[in-house]
Amino acid sequence: MPRKSKTPTPESTALNRESQRRSRARRRELIDDLSRQIEEYKHRGIEATLQMQSAARVVLAENQRLRALLHRHGISPDDGVSMAMTKLKASG
């Protein structure tokens, strides 16, 4: 059985270089793709935060309107829901 040569042939050196070049290109492409995904997730996170803040403002405004309505009917915001419902039915 013949021994393998330890010195690379020009052909194997060229194949190795080409393989390394392709590997580096795949790695660069993967890194670029992951970077794009990170930016997209950051953008989505910012959008979600803005949407959440907007929803919180809507809920806050609605709560203020409901508290004002309760106050007009003589109901304290500290009253329980069932007590408030009882007072509303009695006044209404």
Query: How does pLDDT run across 19-50, given as a tens digit for each residue?
Result: 999 999 999 999 999 999 999 999 999 999 99
pLDDT tens-digit series, residues 13-26: 999 999 999 999 99
**CA 86, CA 92: separation in Å to the nearest integer?**
10
pTM: 0.55
- Considering only residues 23 and 80, tell me which one the structure prediction assigns the higher pLDDT: 23
- Residue 60 contacts residue 48 (beta carbons within 8 Å): no
User: Mean of the per-residue pLDDT values for the chain?
Assistant: 89
**CA 70, CA 77: separation in Å to the nearest integer?**
7
pLDDT at 2: 61
